[in-house]
């Protein structure tokens, strides 16, 4: 069995200054210059997704601000993964809009590669390159997609591997790692691309229970550092304690959304109450 490893105390995502970019700019003059940065980093408008005759997402609307940690909760099959996959362009929405910094990412003129660089994703099943060692896994995207110089890619990869406590394992292949270690490498790989937003689809669901904590700990640190995160999770403790917005999905719609204290202590909708009574 893999040993539990204490996560080292490296600061994660040094460049994410929470909400600072949305502040108006004060000049020496008396006038205040309006900052034109769009209010929301991600805005989903009337998003629908059908698979054949099955309407999986139905008129989804919600927005994410810089520094937000949004958790998406709901029963199996309610459309949580499909929603994240649409935001990462792994699925093409049937209708509706997804704006990133005020611009559509569904527009043909916008490169999918660029969007995925800005909006990264961490999967339940890690999706590491099995034939590459840990270091190469964290460098390959930087070299091939971002065209970074080898030295810079190496520095970034080492920085984030250290942050997730995996810098001692750079020569290991994924098959030699525990699930928790693989997920920490997957997080370091995603961070090495310097995303603006990181999506997580049930990042701890495939892990043995004793490894869930080490991954949640990293995610908590990321949240504190100001990284914008959208997290599909069954970890209600994480949703309640770490996120600042909870979205409850039911049968392809957002049935309720709000601050965690409201959703968990005082849900308005009957189906939210029913769901929470089953999972808490």
Ligand X SMILES: Nc1ncnc2c1ncn2[C@@H]1O[C@H](COP(=O)(O)OP(=O)(O)OP(=O)(O)O)[C@@H](O)[C@H]1O
Q: Which residues bind ligand X (CB under 6 A)?
A: 51, 56, 74, 76-82
**Binding region for Mg ion (CB under 5 A) out of 64-72, 76-84, 93-101, 272-280:** 76-84
Beta-strand (E) ranges in 29-182?
Answer: 32-33, 42-51, 54-64, 69-74, 95-100, 103-104, 119-122
Q: How far is CA 175 from CA 69, 126, 128, 136, 202, in A?
A: 31, 12, 10, 14, 21
Q: Where are the alpha helices (DSSP H) in the chain?
A: 80-87, 112-118, 134-144, 150-163, 179-192, 209-225, 236-241, 260-265, 270-279
Q: Is 82 in the site for Mg ion (CB under 5 A)?
A: no
Question: Out of Mg ion, ligand X, none, which partner does residue 181 contact, by CB within 5 to 8 A per kind?
Answer: none
Cβ-in-10-Å burial (0-12, 13-18, 19+) of 275 comes to: buried
Question: Between residues 167 and 201, which has the closer beta carbon with respect to Mg ion?
Answer: 201
77 binds, options Mg ion, ligand X, none, Cβ within 5 to 8 A by partner type: ligand X
d(CA 107, CA 275): 36
Q: What is the closest distance, in whole angstroms, from the C-beta atom of residue 235 to Mg ion in the complex?
A: 14
Q: Residue 192: name its binding partner from Mg ion, ligand X, none (Cβ under 5 to 8 Å by kind).
A: none
Among 71, 78, 81, 272, binds Mg ion (CB under 5 A): 81
CB burial of residue 175 (10 Å; 0-12, 13-18, 19+) = exposed
Cβ proximity to ligand X, 82 vs 228, nearer residue: 82
Closest contact distance (angstroms) between CB of 87 and ligand X is 12
Residue with Cβ nearer ligand X (60 or 161): 60
| Angle between helix 150-163 and 179-192 (nearest 10) | 140
Least Å distance, CB 214 to ligand X, is 22
Within 10 angstroms of residue 32's Cβ, the number of other Cβ atoms is 10
> Which of the ranges 41-49, 77-85, 140-148, 191-199 carries the binding residues for Mg ion, by CB under 5 A?
77-85
**Interface stretch with Mg ion, choices 3-11, 12-20, 81-89, 179-187 (CB under 5 A):** 81-89
What is the smallest separation between the CB atom of 202 and Mg ion, expressed in angstroms?
Answer: 6
The residues that touch Mg ion, with contacts defined as CB under 5 A, are 81
């Amino acid at each position: 069995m893999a040993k539990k490893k204490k996560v080292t105390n490296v600061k994660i995502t040094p460049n994410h200054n929470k909400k600072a970019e949305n502040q108006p700019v004060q000049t020496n003059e008396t006038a205040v210059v309006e900052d034109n940065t769009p209010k929301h980093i991600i805005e989903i408008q009337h998003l629908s997704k059908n698979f054949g005759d099955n309407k999986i997402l139905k008129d989804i609307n919600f927005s994410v601000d810089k520094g937000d940690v949004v958790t998406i909760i709901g029963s199996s099959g309610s459309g949580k993964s499909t929603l994240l996959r649409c935001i990462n362009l792994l699925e093409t929405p049937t209708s509706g809009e997804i704006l990133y910094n005020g611009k559509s990412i569904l527009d043909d003129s916008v490169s999918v590669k660029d969007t995925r660089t800005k909006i990264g994703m961490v999967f339940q099943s890690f999706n590491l390159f099995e034939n590459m060692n840990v270091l190469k896994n964290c460098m390959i995207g930087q070299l091939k997609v971002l065209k970074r110089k080898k030295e810079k890619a190496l520095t970034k990869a080492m920085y984030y591997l250290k942050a997730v406590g995996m810098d001692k394992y750079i020569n290991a292949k994924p098959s030699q790692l525990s699930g928790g270690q693989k997920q920490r490498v997957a997080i370091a790989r995603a961070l090495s691309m310097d995303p603006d937003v990181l999506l997580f689809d049930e990042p701890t669901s495939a892990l043995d229970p004793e490894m869930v904590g080490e991954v949640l700990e990293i995610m908590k640190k990321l949240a504190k550092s100001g990284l914008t995160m959208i997290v599909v999770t069954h970890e209600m403790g994480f949703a309640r304690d770490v996120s600042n917005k909870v979205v409850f999905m039911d049968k392809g719609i957002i049935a309720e959304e709000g601050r965690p204290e409201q959703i968990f202590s005082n849900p308005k909708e009957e189906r939210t109450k029913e769901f929470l009574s089953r999972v808490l």
